Amino acid sequence: MLQPEMRSSIGRKAGEGMTQTHVPYGYRIEDGKALADEVAAEKLKSFFNEYLVCGSILAAAKKVGIEKTHSMLGRMLKNRAYLGTDFYPRLIDDDTFQKGQELRGEVARKLGRIHEYKPKETKQEVLRFEVGKVKQKYQDPYRQAQYAYTQIREVQDEG
């Protein structure tokens, strides 16, 4: 059961368009306030620094003793809450965080995970149709319709 302070905090974040479903690694909630968890916060700082040295998310996490999946570790590296917010205290300095983002981009490009956006070729939409003069008359309504449909032509706008 959530404490009233937690409910109001989660509600405030949701009202700001931010949904917070968990407390980020390195923090703990006490009396409705986010505080740095000293042990986890130190591991987090070491993780960022080790990542900058070795360039491998999993190797850096293993070295500092953080057991999370690769995707979780990647989300930790890009979590801006570690820079400090109104709710969360700062755990990582701006320079370290920025260098981490740059390294993630370099590694992704090196591994071919970033592709240049290529917009799909779009077919020019037909905005108008013309129906040619119906010159033949048929007794069979189906045959008349078939003939009439052959008289429909697309007209491209010259705009």
pLDDT tier, 116 (very low <50, low <70, confident <90, very high otherwise) = confident
> Structural domains in the chain?
4-110 (3.90.1750.20)
8 A C-beta contact, residue 105 and residue 114: yes
- Helix 70-77 to helix 57-64 angle, to the nearest 10 degrees? 90
| pLDDT at res. 8 | 52
8 A C-beta contact, residue 51 and residue 60: yes
| pLDDT at res. 15 | 43
8 A C-beta contact, residue 154 and residue 127: no
CA distance 155 to 159: 12
Any alpha helices (H) in 1-159, and if so which ranges?
A: 4-15, 38-54, 57-64, 70-77, 94-110, 141-150
Over residues 81-91, the pLDDT tens digits come to 999 999 999 99
Cα→Cα distances 137→133, 134, 153, Å: 11, 8, 19
pTM: 0.61
Q: What angle do CA 100, 105, 109 make, to 5 degrees?
A: 150
